[in-house]
Structure formats: structure tokens, C-alpha cells
A and B are shown apart, each in its own frame.
Chain A
Amino acid sequence: MSVSLPAVGGPVDGAPSNRPQPEAPRPRRRVSVVGVVGELLLTAGAVILLFLGWQLWWNDAIVAGQQSSAASQLSSQWSEQQAAREGASPPEQPVEPEQPVEPVVDTTVHENAEAFGVMYVPRFGDDSQRTIAEGIGLDVLNSVDLGVGHYPDTQAPGEVGNFAIASHRSAYGGGMHEIEQFQLGDAIYVQTELGWYTYRFRDLEYVTPQTIEVLSPVPHHPELTPTDRIITLTSCNPLYSTAERVVAYGVLESWRPAEAGAPTEIADIVAGWGV
């Protein structure tokens, strides 16, 4: 029983319809709820994909590049200052860098987020240089020009005790991405305005996030008086998780004053940072 009905609003009385309809009705003018919801869902999907791209690529590779450039810049700035000082008053005697000397330690308490060092670990890759700044807040760790934070109440680079630093394992530049690849004896270079401290990797440890004893001057033994000069690196573990912490320990092997320049093994690499 289908009855052919005239279109709603159309001519019903059989009057002649205006053939060239002025202002033809535009049905698309009405807001399509389904269409808008669909668009919002598509947009949300695109934004989530972008977020993943940001997290896994931009915030990792791109920020890593920014952080290592910033560290290179700081390092070469110190080299230039050193060169300027030598130009003004050349050292009376040539520096004998290879002889074991007591490291000079700067125990100044730095302001939060103040950059005071550069970490370089060949095992982490060619562009693993990162700026070390005071403090372990997100203003340091998530920064695009810092990246490595120094635990405030731990010792200074080269000092007897524990120089403890932290960095991201993934994202935000991933300053310690390859921490689990450390092998016994790997170099961990720390440069400050005073010179270069070379630490040698000793061992890895996996702990719960509350194990603050790893930061003690003698790790796990807060009651003992330290005699060694060690470095402690902490990052998250497993990769992409925060369930545990991975801790790497190293022992100070040698120190070179700034006049002597970067350690011989990495002198060419460090010279390239200034370019």
C-alpha cells in the first residue's frame, strides 16, 4: 500500500512550480550530529597517533639531539675559556697529564637546575654527551638542554664518596638508554669547568624505587666512612616501565685538569663538539 506522496513543502495544489528555483534549499546547512561525532572520533584518533609519534620519536631522538648539542656547546665553551686563559698567561711548565694526581674537587653547592658538568659515555653512543645539572626534578630530567640530574645531597664529581646522577632510560632524550649494555671497565667521563674525571664502570644492580641506600657514600652502607671515589647512575627499569630502578656503579680512575684537555682516547671526539 505505497502511496506516492508529494515532497514535503513541495507544491501540493498542482500550482506550477518555479522551475529556476531561487535559493535552492541546501540540506547540508543542517548540523549532522553523526557527522560531527565521526569527525571528533577521527580527530581524536589522529591526535593519539601524533602523541605516540611525539613520545617515541620526537621526545626520544629529537630531544636526544638537542640535549647532546647543548652538552657539546657547554663543553666547548669551557675549552674556549681555558684556551683564552692560557693565551693570557701560558703555563710555565708543560702539563704532565698522565701522572696520577689528586683530583681537584669543586664542592660548591649548585642552584637547582644549574648546569655544572657534562657526562660522556662511549658505550652509550657517539652522541651520548649530556649536561649534568643540579637536582633530580622534572625541570632537569625532562629539559631539552639538560637531561642528567645530580642528586643534591650526594658528593661532587671526583670527591671521595658517591657522585650520584639520574637520567631517563627512554623518552626525554633517554640519556641512559643503553645503561644495561655497560661492560666492566667502560669509561664514564665527567667534565666540569675544572677538568675531566674518568670513572670506570664496575657493576649493575637492580633495585626497587625506594632503595635510597644506593646513593650512600658507600652504597648500601650509610654507616660507613667512604674511601673510594665512585659514581652512581640511576635510571628506570625495565625499559618503558617504572617498576624498578637500574643502578650502575663506577670508580674514579683518573683526573685531568682542564689545562691538559680531554682524555687522550676521546680528545678527537671532544674536539669535534666545538665544530
Chain B
Amino acid sequence: MTVYGALWRILPGPAWLRVILLLVLVAAVVFALFSWVFPWADAILNPINVTVEEP
């Protein structure tokens, strides 16, 4: 058993409904990544500085 296999079994309904539900879940995850996770990670990983400042 794997994570995605378990997810597929947990989802209700026929195959086409499960596909739609999966797409909705993926969209929600991508939205959360774009809105919060990536800006947060980018500020830590890649602090772009465009200003001149005191050393």
C-alpha cells in the first residue's frame, strides 16, 4: 500500500468522480503552495536584495 494508493481508495464514488476530486485536491495544494509556501521559502532560500544598505 502506498500513500496515493490509499488516497485513491479513500475517495468515494466511481472512477470519474475520484479523478475530479483528485484534481480539486491538486488545485487546492498548488494554490496553498503559490500563496503561502513558496513566498515563505523564497524569502529564506533566495533573499533578493535590490537596495544599497549600510554594511
A interface list, Cβ under 8 A from B = 28-32, 35-36, 38-40, 47, 50-51, 54-55, 58-59, 136, 138, 141-142, 149, 151, 166-172, 176, 207, 209-212, 214-215, 234-236, 242, 245, 247
Contacts and interface: CB of A to CB of B under 8 A. Distances in A.
Given A47-B33, A55-B38, A168 B53 contact: no
A209 B54 CA distance: 8
A36 B5 CA distance: 10
A119 to B, nearest CB: 14
A167 B48 contact: no
Of the listed residues A149, A166, A170, the one surrounded by the most CB atoms of chain B closer than 10 A to its CB is A166
A55 B42 contact: yes
Contacts of B50: 141, 166-169, 176, 234-236, 242, 245
Contact of A28 (B5, B41, B52): B5
Interface of B: 1-5, 30, 33-34, 38-39, 41-43, 46-55
Given A32-B1, A171-B48, A50 B42 contact: no
A59 B40 CA distance: 13
Contacts, number: 84
Nearest to B39: A142
Contact of B48 (A35, A40, A168): A168
21 contacts: A28-B5, A35-B2, A36-B3, A50-B30, A51-B33, A55-B46, A59-B38, A59-B42, A141-B50, A149-B51, A166-B50, A168-B48, A169-B50, A171-B48, A209-B53, A211-B52, A212-B52, A214-B52, A215-B52, A234-B51, A236-B50
Given A168-B48, A242-B49, A210 B54 contact: yes
Contacts of B47: 242
B3 A51 contact: no
B51 A51 contact: no
Contacts of A151: 51
A107 B54 CA distance: 24
A108 B3 CA distance: 58
A217 B43 CA distance: 31
B39 to A, nearest CB: 7
Contacts of A58: 34
